[in-house]
Amino acid sequence: MSATVIDGKAFAATVRQKVGGHVARLKEEHGITPGLAVVLVGEDPASQVYVRSKGKMTLEVGMASYEHKLEIDTSEADLLALIAQLNADPKIHGILVQLPLPPHLDSDLVINAIDPAKDVDGFHISNVGLLGTGQKSMVPCTPLGCLMMLRDHHGSLSGMNAVVIGRSNIVGKPMANLLLGDSCTVTIAHSRTKDLPGVVRQADIVIAAVGRPEMVIGDWIKPGATVIDVGINRIDKPEGGTRLVGDAEYASCAAVAGAITPVPGGVGPMTIACLLANTITACCRANGLAEPEGLTV
Ligand code: NAD
């Protein structure tokens, strides 16, 4: 068997196009331009790349992009003052603080200072609680992107066995909640799980969110299962240079799976598309307008 490749890059383009259509409608019919503010503290190279591409995509769909680049030694008080200002600004519908923050800043405190209605990353404790209790919330972008791809590929996920490998607050736990919300039977596996290969072999859906290059191998995959690979790892090539790989070993998993997301070109592009989708959702909610179908859960 050779797996169907779930093309996250192409799917993300359709999501962005849909978002762009809603942005145009909001401008024409209501005179509203959705605005996304991104806050970056320090000069971490990977974070700078992410912030740049978020800003570029925000402008491409017609939204307003507000970038706040702060010095690495910015005090917590100054950062909280900026967040208070963005919370109060009606032009801003989404606020994202790029993580990780420098160690002298308390990430939980900072994230929980964001107005939950503008928390387009879905990390505020109120949004975590709302998602955990199956209520309308802002949903973290990476798991939302994974769910959109799964729904698109399978239609209903009801009754499927899903194994999420990884229990982080930004991927594993919200992913498990979303799958539960779609009536999957969900197992969360982690670094202390006994017989991980045996657990994964039960899965109709495998979400690999571990941060270990090519850890999940084809021998662990039930024939026909769907593999969603969240991992982004840069490894050295034998001939020199580096390449990106996921948390699943692509070739061996694709030989057994029914469907699989590639790395790059799978989950990654969907994450930014879902950030834009969340900003539209937040903008519609803030203005008492019906939120677009299919852009959130
Ligand atoms: P994390 O380090 O916060 O969490 C990793 C989880 O994996 C932990 O819960 C840990 O228990 C589990 N784990 C570690 N070793 C394990 C093992 N040997 N067996 C089973 N479980 C094990 O990572 P994260 O932030 O959740 O990210 C996971 C991966 O996803 C990383 O590669 C990250 O770069 C990637 N990521 C990608 C996107 C995207 O947009 N595509 C977004 C976020 C994270």
The tens digit of pLDDT for each residue in 109-136 reads: 999 999 999 999 999 999 999 999 999 9
Q: What's the CA gap between 69 and 253, in Å, rounded?
A: 41
- Domain 31-115, classified CATH 3.40.50.10860, yes or no: yes
Which token pair is 174?
């919200």
Q: Which amino acid is located at 214 in the chain?
A: E
216 touches ligand 1 (CB under 6 Å): no
Residue 89 bears catalytic tag: no
Tell me how far the alpha carbon of residue 50 lies from the centroid of ligand 1, in angstroms. 18
The CA distances from residue 154 to 28, 151, 176, in Å, are 35, 5, 17
Nearest Cα to Cα of residue 47 among 124, 105, 101, 103: 101
Q: Considering 98, 173, 204, 247, which one is annotated as catalytic?
A: 98
Active-site choice (18, 119, 121, 222): 121
Amino acid identity for residue 233 in this structure = N
In angstroms, the CA 93 to CA 78 distance is: 21
Q: What is the distance in A from the centroid of ligand 1 to the CA of 168?
A: 7
pLDDT, residue 1, reads 62
* Residues of the chain under the 50 pLDDT cut: none
The phi, psi pair for 194, rounded to 5°, reads -85, 140
What sign has the CA pseudo-torsion 25, 30, 31, 33?
Answer: negative
Give the start-to-end residue ranges of the domains of the chain. Answer: 31-115, 141-269
Catalytic residue flag (residue 54): yes
Q: Give the closest residue (by CA) to ligand 1 atom 13.
A: 191
> At the top level of CATH, which class does the domain 141-269 belong to?
alpha beta
pTM of this structure: 0.97
Q: Identical fold at 31-115 and 141-269?
A: yes
- Residue 10, Cβ neighbours under 10 Å: how many? 10
